[in-house]
Amino acid sequence: MRGNLNKALISPLLFLLPLFVVCIAALCGLSFAWIDLVSILLCLAGAVVLKNLRLLLRYATKTLAVSVSTIPDPNPKRPFFACASLALLADLVCAVLIVPLPLAALCCAIVCLLISLATLVLYPHSKKMIATHQKQCWNWIESTPVDFSVFLSYGSFNYNYLVWEKFLLATERSYALLTFKDSIFKSLSKETAQPVICFRNNSDAGLTRYFDLIKGRTVVIITHGQKNQKIFKMPYLHSVFIYHGDSDKQSSASKMAGAYDRIFIAGQAGIDRFAANGVMLPAEKFRIVGRPQAAGILPEKVALPDHKDKPTFLYAPTWHGPAEKYNYSSLHFAPKMAEILVAKGYRVIFRPHPISLSNTNENRYCEQVKAILAADNAAHDSGHLYGEVPERTWGTVECFNHCDTLISDVSSVTSDFLFSRKPIILISRKWNKADFIANFPVARGAYVVEHDLGNLAEAAEHCLTDDPLAAQRAQMRDYYLGDFPDQSYEYNFINALVEEIDRHH
């Protein structure tokens, strides 16, 4: 929105307002003086001068940026926009006064032109400021050791990287985050101490120069994206794809994965998933490394001070996906599900996907669930948790550790929870039980509930009592998360990545 406003401030069309007013006045039979024509010409001259602002904007948006405290990102556009705003204000006043008070309008037009001319003085200084900043950025890259890089494509969200940061830092190898998107650069710079480098020019030349200046040839990629092609164009780079999350979603077996040099996969299930979806890749591309984020998941519930003995269900649905064919979310049925669990006297921890909270339609269901849980808390002091604690204070692992059973759908949350070996209930959005298990093998170790939720109460009872799927779920844990011991589990990933980095340094 701010970018659109900035463009509007320097649009030449706005400086035609005095001419438009005079034309309307002429059509209405009102007379105007020759001085009005001078005012119109002066305002248009101001618009022409402000073209320098457009040139500066184009130049500034094609620069390199590095998020380190020693290189503050300059903002040479600010004084230009201040001038543009004042010039536009003078132009608007001129348009208002041009018919009734032509002399006053002329004065406003002169002010408009003078303010616009001020940009001619500012422009060389601002351009020099940008050039100095670029030199500082490249000098920093050249002088800073970078053992590997993490590339964030356009489709990336901050949390895609942040869930991996702890383990990337554990490699004790220096790295920088790379992106072409200014919004990722600005937001992620506030959330990580790692250097973020933004190639705003969106060209291969800047990226090539970067890799010419650093030693590390390994590039870690977390999400698929069209911009990943820029990495593949450089044959001397070694790309390692690590996935944001591991699940049975169709996107987890994309043909795009064939472009990476190495694919880190949590367990054998991830490899078999490609073949099941008709994507045949060489076995040497894969390396089973486990899912390090699962390392802190405990096999027993950590009881909270209140309601210690109350059965607790964590409901953590996935998001709605980029299109309906990729929509596996059970959130649509969440209000009814919450009512069933509340009626049975169970405690509920509700942790929706972050994207669902920012989507108007999906958030509507989130609010309905929260209202049901809030009402039950008020009436019976049930201890349901929703909002601040499960969504922001706790991470996913903390939510896992405070529940007896997970309720989810087709999501990496389900695969990660297998590490705990605790019961799982999966809600099928549109498949019957047999088809759901056939399409999503992780369901073999879970209690499947169809979208009518007819057997939800029965499934919950099994989870809390005899749990007949316990042995099957233990097998699925090794199949999905790798047959590694629980102790030092995360080091399977860390050590594997260090080997890749050191081999291609």
Contact 119, 51 (CB under 8 A): no
pTM of the model: 0.80
- List beta partners, residue 271: none
CATH number of 296-481: 3.40.50.2000
Residue 77: predicted pLDDT: 63
CA distance 15 to 442: 63
Residue 133: predicted pLDDT: 84
Q: Residue-wise over 4-20: b if at least 16 C-beta within 10 A, else e? A: eebeebbeeebbbbbbe
Q: Six-digit token pair at 195?
A: 């250097």
Burial of 222 (0-12, 13-18, 19+ CB in 10 A): buried
CA distance 113 to 107: 10
Residue 407: predicted pLDDT: 97
Q: Six-digit token pair at 364?
A: 């509507």
CA 463 to chain CA centroid, Å, is 34
The CA–CA distances, whole Å, from 110 to 43, 47, 89 equal 8, 12, 12
Residue 459: predicted pLDDT: 96
Strands 196-199 and 64-66, how do they pair? antiparallel
CATH 3.40.50.11720 in the chain is located at: 144-290
Q: Six-digit token pair at 90?
A: 């003078």
**Segments in the chain below pLDDT 50:** 1-10
CA distance 430 to 432: 7
CA distance 313 to 388: 17
Tell me which DSSP letter residue 384 carries: -
CA distance 417 to 400: 7
Contact 150, 179 (CB under 8 A): no
Residue 6: predicted pLDDT: 44
CATH 3.40.50.2000 in the chain is located at: 296-481
- Options 3.30.9.10, 3.40.605.10, 3.40.50.850, 3.40.50.11720; CATH for 144-290 is 3.40.50.11720
